[in-house]
Amino acid sequence: MRPAHPEVLRTEALGKSFTLHMQGGVTIPVLRDLGLTLRAGECVVLSGPSGTGKSTLIRSLYGNYRADTGRIMIRHGGDWVDLAHADPRVVLAVRRDTLGYVSQFLRVVPRVSTLEIVAEALTSRGTPPDEAKLRARSMLLRLNLVPHLHDLPPATFSGGEQQRVNLARGFIPNHPILLLDEPTSSLDAVNRDAVVELVAEAKAAGTAILAIVHDMTTRDAIADRLFHLTPLREAA
Amino acid sequence: MSEHLLSATGLHLSFGAIWALDGVDATLWPGEVLAVVGESGSGKTTLLHVLSGRSAPDAGLVAYRDTEGVAHNVHAMPAPQLRALHRSDWGFVHQNPRDALRMEVSAGGNVGERLMAQGARHYGVIRESAIDWLRQVEISPSRIDDMPHTFSGGMLQRLQIARTLATHPRLVFMDEPTGGLDVSVQARLLDLIRTLVARLGIAVVLVTHDIAVARLLADRILVMRHGRVVEGGLTDQVLDDPQHPYTQLLVSSVLQA
Amino acid sequence: MSGYNFAYLDEQTKRMIRRAILKAVAIPGHQVPFGGREMPLPYGWGTGGIQVTAAILGPSDVLKVIDQGADDTTNAVSIRRFFARTAGIETTTHTADASVIQTRHRIPETPLRADQIIVYQVPLPEPLAKLEQSRAETRQMHALAEYGLMHVKLYEDIARYGHISISYDYPVMVNGRYLMSPSPIPAFDTPKMHRMAALQLFGAGREKRIYAIPPHTDVKPLDFDDHPFRLTRAPQACGLCGARDSYLDEVVMDDRGGRLFVCSDTDYCAGRQSMRQDEDAAA
């Protein structure tokens, strides 16, 4: 027990399955009775083969997927909130102030520039526009996105460039808890190192990180511990 | 604020044998964007009209909480009060901007009308306000004296938005605000709506058949079919992890560009 | 005069019109529908004004009729003669001597008194007619005092011309409540309506509406705080009587551009001319 690193996230008997009505109503269980804890300042990496529900877990923690059973307790503004049973407004408040998420794929408004996309992660949380733009620019440069890309919409960027925009947007608000889904999968070595640095800084600042990472080097560089997921058998 | 801005309970409305609304509940909080999606005949447009007081339901209640926190039954309100509400704290963005704009009045006159209707009597101040709103919807202030027929479809829609927002409404109803616009124009307009609504803290009820628009703009979503709400909740959750069979069908039908 | 009731209209019709007038006086500036009768002249020639005058005339009344300020134009002459024949009442061209003045498109220069009534001929009683096509909608606007649209029209004028360009039939707020069309009197005349000592009645024959302004009622022309209503008048003095404060007609004298500005109010001008003659004679 490390009192200096309190728990910030805890799941209790979390369960999730998918019922595919378009396929005759077949139900696919993915998570069952899952208990995960996360502490401030630590980075936990989910491990397990493909298809064991790592992405599903992350999305469920973010409220993007609906948990069927159990609770997702999140330390938000000094209180514990059960995200699995919270009102949509509460979920949005938790996402605004406490819980960040970098998904695998970038999904943005067409025709809005990269700089505006990243700056908005700050302005939507109250940062004045000029300061937001400055900080956005410097974050993009840290991720080695050259200045002339800042004013372009990212729709035509390469996979790696898009992922870096996603990362910039995810890291810049300094959330206490950060969920990362394959943050380095499209990146070259230089940019993987940049991400490793960002993670280290965040941890030092007390951020709790839960990540899915497949490449071993990055995993070893950032993980304080691993959390194993085992596959469930399909329902009959 | 923990109190609803608008709440609807048990709404029923039939047109002959067809139930356009068959037991619909909905709530809206201040500053929240609620999308109502569904296919033709789902009842989503009827719901918008009932929520905004334009059509009376056969049964059910629509309650609006005003700036003083007093709750009003929208359909029991006297006509003058409802009209005044529509000109001040409420707004309505129509799919076709020509339905809301005065085509024989200049852009500035269109934006200033609601202000003048509320008693604004200083020409200079009205004009400054109109210029400011035109800028906010990204129409060049130099067009303030131009007639609407010289504007493109996208500009007309932005002009309608400026005209609607001029009195700082708390609640805006939108009926397919980007329907009928060229795709390239839609994107910019959607982003404009998104930033304005967030910046001004406006609550929005948005009816659209386009799920992508709902995903972009809305905090919460209601999925309607045959006059009923089949599923509702956080937008990204309903669209990424749909529970109801119809929602799953709808989401899987969206074409990926 | 045989075969006609006093002042042409039967007594029941006069009662109906008087009831409408009473309603109109009770709600200053509000348009009251009335059952307009067939009159022996077409719409557009003053049938509304004539019916109002016919309803209020008594045997001891003295009637003046002016058209664009003049007693001697065709229309003024025929309407005056009409009442002389059907009512047998005294008529005059002197404003000060009249008890009832029927007018088309002008208010006399001579201030009116409490014992006088002025009856205006009105073509279009609805001030919002050109801005809002639907009559149902304009009625709602009056009922709810929703007059923003009229201010939009004034705004458009200032945006286009730099000033409010309405030169006649200038929209006014009566008693702080109803928006009213004063009939096509020049904007110059509008201030005369404010708190006038005489009763002002308005008759529109084709549209079948009567409205009224009781004596001493506030009548304010619509404007903006930073573009207040301004009197506009040709800068010239009257070429006949020298007046600098009356509304002028511009008369073409020849085909070489010769112009003469004369008072539109013929009685006012004649009065000033004879005063000058007396002064000259006395000098």
Average pLDDT of chain C is 95
Q: How far is B98 from chain C (nearest CA, A)?
A: 15
For range A186-206, the mean pLDDT: 93
**Which residues on B lie below 8 Å from C158 (Cβ)?**
123
Do chain C and chain B touch with ≥3 beta carbon pairs under 8 Å? yes
Answer left, alpha or beta for residue A207, where phi above 0 means left and psi between -120 and 50 means alpha: beta
pLDDT > 60? residue C1 = no
- CA B38 to chain CA centroid, Å, is 16
Window from A25-29, A51-55, A231-235, B64-68 with minimum mean pLDDT: A231-235
The tokens describing C51, both together, are 């019916």
Is residue C269 among the annotated active site residues? yes
For range C95-100, the mean pLDDT: 98
The shares of helix, strand and coil residues in chain B, as percent rounded to the nearest 5, are 40, 25, 35
Taking each helix axis as running N to C, give the angle between helix B123-136 and helix B107-117, from 0 to 180 degrees, rounded to the nearest 10.
120
For chain C, the first-to-last Cα distance in angstroms comes to: 49
For chain B, the first-to-last Cα distance in angstroms comes to: 40
Q: How far is B121 from chain C (nearest CA, A)?
A: 5
pLDDT band at residue C280 using 50, 70 and 90 as cut-offs:
confident
**pTM of the shown model:** 0.88
The tokens describing B242, both together, are 């749909």
pLDDT in tens, A90-112: 999 999 999 999 998 888 777 78
Residue C56 CA to residue C58 CA, distance in Å, equals: 7
pLDDT for B2 equals 58
Helix/strand/coil (H/E/C) assignment for every residue in A126-148: CCCHHHHHHHHHHHHHHCCCCHH
Task: Judge: C152–B116 Cβ closer than 8 Å, yes or no.
Answer: yes
**Phi/psi of residue A81, each to 5°?**
-120, 135
pLDDT for B1 equals 43
Q: Is the ipTM of this complex over 0.95?
A: no
pLDDT > 80? residue A6 = yes
Q: Are strands B203-208 and A79-82 parallel, antiparallel or unpaired?
A: unpaired
Is residue C241 among the annotated active site residues? yes
Of A14, A149, A131, A139, which Cα lies nearest the Cα of A84?
A14
pLDDT > 60? residue A217 = yes
The shares of helix, strand and coil residues in chain C, as percent rounded to the nearest 5, are 30, 20, 50
**Which residues on B lie below 8 Å from C152 (Cβ)?**
102, 105, 109, 112-113, 116
pLDDT in tens, B15-36: 999 999 999 999 999 999 999 9
Q: CA distances (Å), C42 to each of A86, C46, C63, C106, C206, in order?
A: 76, 8, 22, 21, 9
pLDDT in tens, A141-184: 999 999 999 999 998 899 899 999 999 999 999 999 999 999 99
> Position of tokens 């309650």?
B63
Residue C159 in contact with partner chain B when CB distance is under 8 A: yes
Nearest to C224 among B113, B118, B123 (CB): B123
Alpha helices in chain C (DSSP H): 11-26, 47-56, 74-87, 135-143, 148-161, 190-193, 266-282
Contact in structure between B44 and B90 (CB atoms under 8 Å): no
Q: Three-state DSSP class for B61?
A: strand
Contact in structure between C217 and C236 (CB atoms under 8 Å): no
All residues at 6 or more sequence positions from B89 whose CB lies less than 8 Å from its CB, including other chains: B66, B67, B167, B169, B170, B171
pLDDT for C104 equals 96
Chains sharing 3 or more CB pairs under 8 A with chain A = B
Which is it for the CA torsion A63, A128, B212, B231, positive or negative?
Answer: positive
Q: How far is B127 from chain C (nearest CA, A)?
A: 9
The tokens describing B5, both together, are 């801005």
Q: CA distances (Å), A88 to each of A104, B63, B219, C231, in order?
A: 23, 21, 8, 62
* pLDDT-flagged residues of chain B (< 50): 1
**Which residues on C lie below 8 Å from B122 (Cβ)?**
224-226
Cα nearest neighbour of C163 on chain B: B123
**Which residues on A lie below 8 Å from B236 (Cβ)?**
64
pLDDT in tens, C56-70: 999 999 999 999 999
pLDDT for C242 equals 94
pLDDT for C151 equals 95
**Which residues on A lie below 8 Å from B244 (Cβ)?**
21
CA angle C116, C120, C126 (to 5 degrees): 140
Residue A190 CA to residue C18 CA, distance in Å, equals: 96
Q: Which amino acid is at C198?
A: A
pLDDT > 90? residue C192 = yes
Residue A65 CA to residue A48 CA, distance in Å, equals: 20
Q: How far is A107 from chain B (nearest CA, A)?
A: 10
Average pLDDT of chain A is 91
pLDDT for A234 equals 45
For range A117-129, the mean pLDDT: 91
pLDDT for B256 equals 62
pLDDT for C282 equals 83
